[in-house]
Structure formats: structure tokens, C-alpha cells
């Protein structure tokens, strides 16, 4: 099971950049991991430029592509 968390508003002061939002994301990610989910994280930019899709595809293939995404 693979989940993709899109971190919206990271650079504009959105929910994911505020203390309560960060704490909520940590709780949600940990709960998913304890249930066996692989949680991948991406920014809106990564969604728009295709990097998030490449990340999900790599996870489905079981391939590590960290260098390609940086």
C-alpha cells in the first residue's frame, strides 16, 4: 500500500508549514506507517513537474530513485 502526501502551501505559509499542521501530518504519517502504508511526500511543484508521479512509479516498481528527484 502506497500513499502520497502532497504538502500544499509549503512556501506560502499554508497548513503544512505551521506547527499544528506539521504535528497533524506527523501523526497521520505515523498512523499510516503502523498500518503498513508506505507514505511518500511531495510538494505541489513535484506534482506539477512530474517528479511525484516518478516517485510513485518507482515505489510501485520497488526502485530507489532519490538521485533522480533531487
Splitting the chain (70 residues) into consecutive groups of 10 residues, what average pLDDT does each group show?
Answer: 83 67 89 94 92 93 63
What's the pLDDT score for residue 15?
Answer: 66
Is there a contact between 40 and 3 (Cβ–Cβ < 8 Å)?
A: yes
Does pTM top 0.75 for this prediction? no
HSE toward the beta carbon, residue 33, CA cutoff 13 A: 10
What's the pLDDT score for residue 63?
Answer: 66
Is there a contact between 47 and 5 (Cβ–Cβ < 8 Å)?
A: no
Q: Counting Cβ atoms within 10 Å, is residue 51 exposed (0-12), middle (13-18) or buried (19+)?
A: middle
Amino acid at each position: 500500500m502506497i500513499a502520497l502526501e502532497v504538502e500544499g502551501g509549503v512556501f506560502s505559509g499554508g497548513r503544512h508549514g505551521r506547527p499544528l499542521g506539521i504535528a497533524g501530518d506527523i501523526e497521520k504519517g505515523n498512523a499510516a506507517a503502523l498500518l503498513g502504508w508506505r507514505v511518500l511526500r511531495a510538494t505541489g511543484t513535484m506534482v506539477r513537474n512530474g517528479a511525484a508521479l516518478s516517485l510513485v512509479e518507482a515505489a510501485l516498481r520497488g526502485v530507489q530513485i532519490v538521485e533522480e528527484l533531487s
